[in-house]
Amino acid sequence: MEKLDVIELTKDITEDWKNFSVSDINDHTVRLSVLKKDFHWHKHAKSDELFYVVEGELFVDFEDKTEVLTEKQMIKVPKNVMHRTRSNIRTTILCFETKDNDVSGDK
């Protein structure tokens, strides 16, 4: 058992995109991401993803619409759905997905 502080874990990150696993739960992982740029279009064949915005503002683009998430909001992206995430300001998110999910998307 380990108590983690998301703000403390991300306070020194200066990159426009940083993503790392902070905890594993059975066959899933919780990733922490800090972003301030566009990520590329992709999809995941094996796993849904759930994004939870800790701070900032996250745009999740789909082929037919864009969802805007602010602090304390979340969205599930079903597997095989083409999407990309982006932000214009420093944004911290938690992502819940299977351990074997490739964060870059399926080739």
By CB atoms closer than 10 A (0-12, 13-18, 19+), residue 50 is: middle
Whether the predicted pLDDT of 106 surpasses 80: no
The mean predicted confidence, pLDDT, of the chain is: 93
pLDDT tens-digit map of 30-68: 999 999 999 999 999 989 999 999 999 999 999 999 999
Question: Which position has the higher pLDDT, 105 or 21?
Answer: 21
Cα-based distances in Å from 106 to 2, 17, 36, 47, 100: 32, 19, 23, 11, 11
Contacts of 100 (CB under 8 A, 6+ apart): 27, 46, 47
pTM of the model: 0.91
